[in-house]
Amino acid sequence: MEALTNFQLFCGVGLATSILAYSYAVSRPHPLDHIPTVRPSGLLGSYLPAIKYITNGIDIVQQGFEELVLNDMIRMEYTFGPQMLHDPYHVTIIRTLVTRNLSALLPGIKDEMIATLDESLDMKPNEWESIPVVDFSQSITVRMLNRTVVGLPLCREPDWVDLTLRGTMDVIKEGILLGRVPNFVFALGAKFITTTSSRLRRGAKHLEPIINERLRCMETYGEGWTNRPSDVLQWFIDEGRERTVPLLTARILFFLFGGMASSAAAVAKVLCFLAANPQCVQPLREEVERAIDEHGWTREGIAQMRRVDSFIKETLRFEGTTAYGVQRKATKDVTLSDGTFLPRGTNVAFAVYAIEHDHHNYEDPFTFKPFRFVELQDKCGDPSKYQFASITHDSLGFGLGKSACPGRFLASMTLKVLLAYIVVTYDLKPGKDFPDSRHLAGAILTRPSAKLLFRRRMD
């Protein structure tokens, strides 16, 4: 027999070691074996559903409805910086200053919306224009959100807009990739997978002159600085925890990340459902025109738009935003009230789509009823219930509990203004590739090729 070459010997030892390691891993009891998890056990088995999950997330989570779902967390400390995890003060600023100042932010949001619509929908009277709905929704959302965050003129600066838009999408892709990298290559892999440093450098170039000028005014005028900007950047500076350009840049980009992708995805769905349901247009127009006649484009006016609110909430419930959500990690061993034991480090998530399509929670859950929530409000006699921004155990689009989305009131106001304005200003109908959605790693997304036809309102 010929002598084994070094290479064959290396392969042989490697194979034997792998078989031993695999046999050991599958024979070891897993601390979660008592819990009905969605993933099969075993060394390779856990990666197979992860791959299947990329294209078929809904089905896998549906399988695990009423069971606990394991999931990897996206690693924000690598895509933005460790300070986002260790000092999430932006959450407090959103809960307090952003939410308290919604009335003051509204005129800027509306102004930015009209400017973006005029630029994107530059058609002649009686002419239909075909618009890719995903791109359109992202462009308008990023501008409206940026207006509240950095104000004019930066919110319209093309490179900044591109950074805050594409950068958000990059972070999502990088986060998904990082979530799939095995732990032992993680620290090294993060450096190569993320574009964090170049993103922050690019952002700092835009923010540096603005931050420096604002710091100068604060030093010069102190409390007497009368035309102090009323935007998120200024609230971060005033808070005083981070006064350097790199740290503030990371915080601002993270803030925009928090609001951008989910709001833009919601806008795309709402516009698609509006185009697909022409029977809703008249009732919506009547409501919006009445509210604007009585209160103008104010928060009071927006609050009167219950059909608009219900249309948005029902669209997101019916179409779904994600297969699973409200992700939590057990930071220590936990025993739940039903006796279920979760060892430290366990990731859990709720089967959001399944819960929002459960007939115990919603009558006729697989039927789109645009004004479902107005009917429920009328039935219980309380219009403050069942609102888009409300959080309940059967309405999980904004999460649940202490970590529920702090930006939901801003998101709700922004979406309502947009839908209300579009419905009274334009006619819409479905275009190409409509209204198909696709599933990506659990998220339910509008197909990027989907088009809508817009025309200036004719009647």
- Burial class of 44 by CB neighbour count within 10 A (0 to 12, 13 to 18, 19+): exposed
Report residue 369: phi and psi, to 5°.
-120, 95
Of 119-127, 171-179, 398-406, 432-440, which part binds ligand HEM (CB under 6 A)? 398-406
Which of 93, 210, 355, 411 binds ligand HEM (CB under 6 A)? It is 411
Strand partners, 395: 392
Of 61-69, 174-182, 197-205, 397-405, which part binds ligand HEM (CB under 6 A)? 397-405
Which of 263, 310, 387, 446 binds ligand HEM (CB under 6 A)? It is 263
Between 20 and 85, name the residue whose CB sits nearer to ligand HEM.
Answer: 85
Closest CA to 81 of 239, 166, 204, 180: 204
Which of 320, 325, 431, 442 binds ligand HEM (CB under 6 A)? It is 325
SS3 content of the chain, % helix, strand, coil (to 5): 60, 10, 30
Between 350 and 431, name the residue whose CB sits nearer to ligand HEM.
Answer: 350
Closest CA to 145 of 268, 235, 231, 246: 231
My answer on whether omega of the bond before 365 falls inside 30° of 0, hence cis, is no
Tell whether residue 405 is among the known ligand binding residues: yes
403 is a contact residue toward ligand HEM (CB under 6 A): yes
Between 148 and 431, name the residue whose CB sits nearer to ligand HEM.
Answer: 148
Which of 398, 426, 434, 454 binds ligand HEM (CB under 6 A)? It is 398
Here's the x/- map for ligand HEM, 283-322, by CB under 6 A: it reads as: --------------------------------------x-
Distance separating alpha carbons of residues 163 and 293, to the nearest angstrom:
39
Minimum CB distance to ligand HEM, residue 412 (Å): 8
Report residue 158: phi and psi, to 5°.
-55, -40
Question: What is the DSSP secondary structure assignment for residue 395, as one 8-state letter?
Answer: B
Which of 410, 417, 443, 450 binds ligand HEM (CB under 6 A)? It is 410
258 is a contact residue toward ligand HEM (CB under 6 A): yes
442 is a contact residue toward ligand HEM (CB under 6 A): no
Distances (CA, A) of 204 to 247, 250, 251: 9, 9, 11
Between 139 and 431, name the residue whose CB sits nearer to ligand HEM.
Answer: 139
Give the interface size with ligand HEM as a residue count (CB under 6 A): 24
What is the widest separation between alpha-carbon atoms in the chain? 96
Distance separating alpha carbons of residues 113 and 140, to the nearest angstrom:
6
144 is a contact residue toward ligand HEM (CB under 6 A): no
Between 74 and 453, name the residue whose CB sits nearer to ligand HEM.
Answer: 74
List of residues 6+ apart from 278 with CB closer than 8 A: 429
Q: Which two tokens stand for residue 372?
A: 């479902």
What's the first-to-final CA gap in the chain, in angstroms?
A: 91
HSE (CB half, 13 Å, CA atoms) of 134?
Answer: 18
Distance separating alpha carbons of residues 163 and 158, to the nearest angstrom:
9
Report residue 394: phi and psi, to 5°.
-110, 10
Of 73-81, 299-307, 403-411, 419-427, which part binds ligand HEM (CB under 6 A)? 403-411
Which of 113, 210, 326, 445 binds ligand HEM (CB under 6 A)? It is 326
Q: Which two tokens stand for residue 162?
A: 């591109």
Closest CA to 288 of 279, 275, 301, 277: 301
Between 98 and 250, name the residue whose CB sits nearer to ligand HEM.
Answer: 98
Closest CA to 398 of 270, 312, 307: 312
Question: What is the DSSP secondary structure assignment for residue 436, as one 8-state letter?
Answer: -
367 is a contact residue toward ligand HEM (CB under 6 A): no
Which of 19, 104, 380, 404 binds ligand HEM (CB under 6 A)? It is 404
Minimum CB distance to ligand HEM, residue 262 (Å): 4
Which of 81, 320, 397, 431 binds ligand HEM (CB under 6 A)? It is 397
Positions 71 through 130 that interact with ligand HEM (CB under 6 A): 88, 90-91, 94, 98
Which of 64, 259, 320, 370 binds ligand HEM (CB under 6 A)? It is 259
For the annotated binding site for heme, the residues are 405
Residues interacting with ligand HEM, by CB under 6 A?
88, 90-91, 94, 98, 258-259, 262-263, 266, 321, 325-326, 397-400, 403-407, 410-411
